[in-house]
Copies of this chain bind each other. A is one copy, B any other.
Amino acid sequence: MPNRPLNVAVVGATGAVGVEMIKTLEKRNFPVKNLRLLASSRSAGKQAQFNGQNYTIEELTHDSFKDIDVALFSAGGSISKEFAPSAVKAGAVVVDNSSCFRMDPTVPLVVPEVNPADIKQHNGIIANPTCTTIIMLVAVKPLYDIYPVKRINVCTYQSASGAGAKGMFELIEQTKTVLAGGKAEPKVFKWPYAFNVFSHNTDIGENGYNTEEMKMVNETKKIMHDDGIGVCATCVRVPVLRSHAESITLEFKDNVTVEAALEAWKKAPGLTIVDDRAANHFPMPCESNEQYNVLAGRIRYNLAAPNSLTFFVCGDQLLKGAALNAVQIAELM
């Protein structure tokens, strides 16, 4: 934790992640001196609560960052690109939840449980990785420390919250419509979401991978400081509200036993093992929702390959996938 109270700004304070950032600062007793809540002019004037006090949302401008020590950004890539430099210029350290600076070689990309030391390298901006990458690496890192990982195969079961509050609203409203006998009318997402599953709604590149998948590929190499890790990702949306699940198969450079993996997970920060075979109890969104820790379990040997384990993880997309990770970074500064 910082050793003195800080002036904190939250940019995108009315968004799904922004709201969780404010709650997380409060719950974790982050030493806040003054809090400034920033959003677009559309939201300016609205009220929000922090530690029992009312705060008025202010319109984000280039002059919003006077005396701010830490600015938590979660208002999309274009807002970060335009306003983060102003925050840095005003003397603030930016923790950015957008994809804008993640692959910038001068910007550390940090999961506090994985590469906390990278924070020190910052030049004013620290990037928060993609939610799916964060949730995966919290479980992968303790195993990587036993033997390096050669390959990762990951298939995601991603929630609506990755598209913000409007994505969650669309899933709920569309499901109501379909249950009442109506027809799904997609707006936020391209495809029907109620009782459906679809490939992640980001653009597909030349190699056939969508942007979300390539984030997992490239961010993993950067965070793990290992360009040799191969990642094959398939990102899929499922009709779940706020937790992402991921089915992960790792191939190691040598044999990692299930027992050693469980021992490593037991000692790992930010991770709760949920792995009761007799009770068929494994990580589920309904149990990771609103939890800080990533749930990991169903760990077993890959029947098809040597030196390989497969397992399942779940994490709250809005918390460990976004708001919590950002606040944890601020705590380490």
Chain A residues in the interface with B (C-beta under 8 A): 151-153, 155, 157, 171-172, 175-176, 179, 184, 190-192, 195-199, 201, 203-204, 207-210, 217, 230-232, 234, 236, 238-241, 245, 247, 249, 258, 277-278, 280, 282, 284-286, 298-305, 308, 310, 312, 314
Contact = CB atoms under 8 A, between A and B. Distances in A.
Contacts of A300: 207-209
A208 B239 contact: no
A195 B239 contact: yes
A192 B217 CA distance: 32
B197 A304 contact: no
A218 to B, nearest CB: 10
B240 A301 contact: no
Contacts of A153: 153, 249, 302, 304
26 contacts: A151-B304, A152-B304, A153-B153, A155-B155, A155-B247, A157-B197, A157-B238, A171-B195, A179-B179, A191-B286, A192-B286, A195-B241, A196-B285, A197-B238, A198-B284, A199-B284, A203-B280, A208-B298, A208-B299, A208-B301, A210-B280, A230-B303, A230-B305, A232-B249, A234-B312, A239-B239
Contacts of A301: 207-208
B234 A298 contact: yes
A230 B304 contact: yes
Contacts of A298: 199, 208, 234
Given A179-B175, A192-B286, A300-B209, A280 B197 contact: no
A190 B195 CA distance: 19
A197 B217 CA distance: 24
Contact of A305 (B151, B198, B201, B303): B151
B197 A232 contact: no
Contacts of A314: 197
Contacts of A176: 179
| Most chain B CB within a 10 A radius of its CB, from A157, A196, A217, A240 | A196
Contacts of A172: 179
| Most chain B CB within a 10 A radius of its CB, from A184, A195, A278, A284 | A195
Given A152-B304, A204-B277, A196 B234 contact: no
A280 B190 contact: yes
Contacts of A303: 207, 209, 217, 230-232
Nearest to A300: B208
Given A204-B278, A310-B234, A240 B305 contact: no
| Most chain B CB within a 10 A radius of its CB, from A157, A199, A278, A310 | A199
A315 to B, nearest CB: 13
B179 A282 contact: no
A115 B121 CA distance: 59
A238 B304 CA distance: 25
